[in-house]
Amino acid sequence: MSTPNVIRIGLCGFGTVGQGVWKHLAGARRALESRLGAGIEVHRIAVRNPRKARAVRLPAGRITTDALAVAADPKIHIVCELMGGTSLAREVTLTALRHGKIVVSANKALICDHGAEIFATARRHGGHFLFEASVAGGIPIIKALREGLVANRFPRIYGILNGTCNYILTQMEEQDAPYASVLDEAKRLGYAEADEALDVEGWDAAHKASILAWLAHGVWVKPRQMVVEGITRITPADFKNAAMLGYGIKLLAVITRDLDSNELSVRVHPTLLPEGSVVANVSGVFNAVSVTGDVVGTTLYIGRGAGQDATASAVISDIADAAALLVHGKGSHLTAAETLPARNGCRLAPPEHIKCRYYVRLTVKDQPGVLARVASVMARHHISIASVIQTPGEDDRAASLVLTTHESHERAMNATLRDVARLASVIGEPVLLRIGDFND
């Protein structure tokens, strides 16, 4: 591969992230060029609507509506896929890789759905695929796993991977406000999308957890293979109950691997964390990832997990690595698919092997014997009650019954909730939260 005097970049997508990359790349250009020993130029930009008003003014000659032409352009060395979605984004990514280019992407859904195909294509045609911006925004968690912690196996990775949910939960706790009103405020401030489902139902975090699980363990785990639960049923009362028990509530992605049995579990759900935990005190739109390695122990990464500047920072970091590879031949270990961890017989843990303690909130009829009936169902499934909190319900004829359990497992807990919900004295669907005693 000849060394280019000018590294030409194609941007496919020029929304919030694309404009942030343009802005900050211009600001860092001289320093990057000095470090790399080559020029850097944004050669072409693919947009859906060239007439759309944008905060950034672009030379008309660089704009196109044909993203595939950018991906195939022989003058372009690095293609930044910043469009979102998984259809055209997949075509653009594969086209660029088939031409032996380096692709930089922030698209977690694309990687989760098509990662195996993308990396196989890169390997087959000599291309490279970099994706630091796809998980946790400006936190360099992917480089930490692939480079700094390469000597480790990872029995546990967990953290806050969705800033929208973390903002909503923080505001609910601090303002003692219901979910719906905080969500409306988050939309007004731009922290939540108009269609918030991908975030608040846990799917965005699940896409990111899939990527981390693959990086750490070499296994593609699809969201449908995970426990995925969102935050929509959490109420201010849950924060008060959690505080009485010494906990806060966060939406966590949790990736655990039993190194003895070689079983892996990946899950996303609201979790009670001890109030003294560092992750429990990460608030607002910030993300946090705790990584436990068998050699290094536990390391913790905290920073902005989304937004124009944080994501652009991660994209430009990958652009710099890609440029170093083109100019100096350095950094190929960052992108070579064959260096990623092999599956090594790792398999998904069945529900009965996924264990923790649980928090259960029930709305029940305010009458004698209800607790005894609930306890009987739990005992039938071999679940032991650790504590009970009973408070008045919103209705004079109802009460709120909160139970925490000793350690059990997902299969037993799901069967218990199914049977508890059938009791005539239980009103509505039980609310289940996991308790995260991670001891970090």
208 tagged catalytic = yes
CA 246 – CA 386 distance, rounded (Å): 14
Torsion of Cα atoms, 115 then 116 then 118 then 123, to 10°: 140
The active-site residue, picked from 75, 143, 187, 208, is 208
Under a CB-based contact definition with an 8 Å cutoff, are residues 373 and 423 in contact?
Answer: yes
Closest CA to 67 of 90, 101, 99: 90
Q: Helices 108-125 and 88-98 meet at what angle, rounded to 10?
A: 20
Active-site annotation, residues: 208
